[in-house]
Amino acid sequence: MSIVRVDAEAASVAVEDVVDIAAKGGIKLSDQMAADFVTLVSGLEAVIANLPDDSCVMPIPDLSKYPRTDIHVPEDNNLGGWAAKVTAKCTAPTSDLLKGRTIALKDNIAFAGVPCTNGTSMVEWTPKVDATVATRVMDAGGTIVGKAACENACFEGLSASASTGHVHNPWAQGFSAGGSSSGSARLVGTGAVDMSIGCDQAGSIRIPAASCGIVGLKPTWGMVPYTGIINLDAAIDHAGPMTRTVRDCALLLEAIAGPDTWDDRQLLLELDDARLKFVKPVDEIVSKPRSRMLSGIKIGVLQEGFQIDGQDENIVKCVQVAVDKFETLGAEVAPVSIPEHKLASLVWMSSLALPCGRQALLGGMEGRKQLYMTDRLALVGPRLTQQQFDSLGPGAANLYLNHLWFSEKHGPAHQGKCMNLQKFISDAYDKALKEFDILAMPTLPHPAPKLPENGYEEGMLKFAMRTTGMITNTSPFDNSGHPALSIPVGFVPAREDANVKLPAGLQLVARKYSDVDCLKVAAAWEKAYDWKSL
C-alpha cells in the first residue's frame, strides 16, 4: 500500500492497541514492526481526522421544492400495508407523466424526514436524503403518500415478519401478500395507492405481485437507479414498478428509469431516449386488432419452469391456459428447454451468504461506486450485537448465520465459483432469447400460503418451510439481470382451503434492456382477457 503522507509527530496511536489489534487477526508483531506501525497508523488517523465532511455531496432534498407534510405512523395501517404516511410532491415538476397519481415507496427506500425501518427494529434510522426514484416520481408530478411495509430486512417471501406486523393478502385476510415488497403489493391491490415502488433480489417485486393480483416488473439490472435504497447485494439489487395495470407499470418505469451518475450498476448504461420510452410502445400494441397485436412475436414456454418440485397443479393449469391464449393475439408459441434453469436458484442460494450478509446486514459496500448512506452505516458494527440479531426475522437471521458459516468454511473461492456459474446460466437464457422474444412460465409454484397466527414464534425452520421452492422461477433472473414481469392470469384454490381463491401469476422474461417487450406482451394479454373472470 502506497503512503501518501506520514506525520511522525502525530503519534496518537498506542503501541498496545496496535499489538492487540494484530493479535485479534492472528498476527504477532516484532517490537520494531509494532513501533513502525504506530507511526504509519498515526499518520493515517491524522489524515482521516482532517477529511472534509461529505454532506456537501449528499442528495439532500430542497424542501422548498419537494415539501413533505403530515409525517406519521397511521393507527389504521391497512391490515399491515403502511409503515408510515406522508404527503410529498414537487412544486415545479418537470413533466406531468404521473400527474394526479399517488405512489407508495417500499420502506427500504430513503425519503428524508420519514423513518425507514427496512422492516426491522435492528436499527432506528430517519434518512436525510431522498432516493433517486423518489425524486423522479415527484419530478414527474406524482404525489408520494407514504412508506409501504416490507418484510424484515427485506429477506422474506412470506408477509409475516415485518416489524410493523403481518401484511394480509387483499383477496383473503389471513393469507400472505408475498414479500418482501408486501405492503407495496397490498396497497396497490386494495386501491389505497395508484402505484408503488418495490425492490427485488430474489423475487420481492414479482412474488407479492403474483400473490396480490397486480403487475410487478423487475427491470433489467441497472435500468432503474438503486441510489438511496438499502442494499441486499449490489449484484442482484433491482427497484421497479408495482401497479394495477400494465400501462401504469410502463408509466412508472418511464418516470424512474435511466442513469443518475451515482449508481455503478449504471455506469456502462448508454441508452438513447427512445430506449427509455415505455408508454408509447404499449399504447401502440393495444391499439392493433386483437388477432395481430403480437404478430411477429415468438414466445418460448420454459419447460423447466413448469417442473418444480411440489408445484401446485392448479397453478400449472391456470398459467398454461393463459400462455395458450397468446396464439389468439398473433404470437407464435412453442416450448423451449433450458436445463440450466434448474441449477439457477441453487446457485442463487449458495452465492448469497457472503456478499449479502456483508452488504445487507453489516453495511459493507467497499468496492462499489454508489451513494453511501453513512449515517445508517455508523449504526452497525463489524458484527451484529445480540440485540440486533434478535431483532431479525427467520430469513435475515438465517442469512447472517450463513454469512458467518460461509466466511469460516468456504470463503472467496466458493463465491467466485458461484459467480462463474451465474455467467454460465445467464448465457443459456441469452441463447434461448436469440430464438424467442419472450420466455413464459409461472411466477410462483403455488398460491399465497396462509399466514402463521403467531408470526415466526413457530420457529425458523417451520416458518421457512411455508415458502420452500417459492423463488425457483424468480431468483434466476435477479442473478442474470434479465427483465421479468409478473401479470395476474386467474384464480386458483388456496392449498389450505379450497373455498379461498387466490391470484395466479404468469412471468414473462425478455432480453436485457428490452423491458418494453415484457410490457408489450403483457399489455396485449391484459387488453384481450379479464383475468378476474377466467
Q: Which residues are catalytic?
A: 106, 180, 204
Enumerate helices (H) and strands (E) in the chain, giving the number of each: 17, 14
Distance from C-alpha of 185 to C-alpha of 207, rounded to nearest angstrom: 9
In sequence order, what are the beta bridge partners of 102?
143
Give the orientation angle of helix 246-256 with respect to helix 515-528, to 10 degrees: 160
Give the orientation angle of helix 132-139 with respect to helix 246-256, to 10 degrees: 110
Distance from C-alpha of 49 to C-alpha of 45, rounded to nearest angstrom: 6
Distance from C-alpha of 267 to C-alpha of 253, rounded to nearest angstrom: 19
225 in Cβ contact with 68 (< 8 Å)? no
Contacts of 420 (CB under 8 A, 6+ apart): none
130 in Cβ contact with 110 (< 8 Å)? yes
Q: What number of other Cβ atoms are within 10 A of residue 407's Cβ?
A: 14
Q: To the nearest 10°, the Cα dihedral for 364, 204, 262, 93?
A: -140
Place of cell 441510489: 227
84 in Cβ contact with 233 (< 8 Å)? no
Residue 522 backbone zone (phi > 0: left; psi -120 to 50: alpha; other: beta): alpha
| 100 Cα distance to chain centroid | 26
Give the orientation angle of helix 341-351 with respect to helix 412-435, to 10 degrees: 150
For residue 52, the 8-state DSSP code is P
- For 310, 426, 473, the CA distances from 422, given in Å and listed in that order, are 25, 6, 15
Backbone angles phi, psi at 61, to 5 degrees: -70, 150
Distance from C-alpha of 488 to C-alpha of 443, rounded to nearest angstrom: 9
List, in sequence order, the alpha helices (H) in 191-287: 206-212, 246-256, 279-286
88, amino acid identity:
A
272, amino acid identity:
D
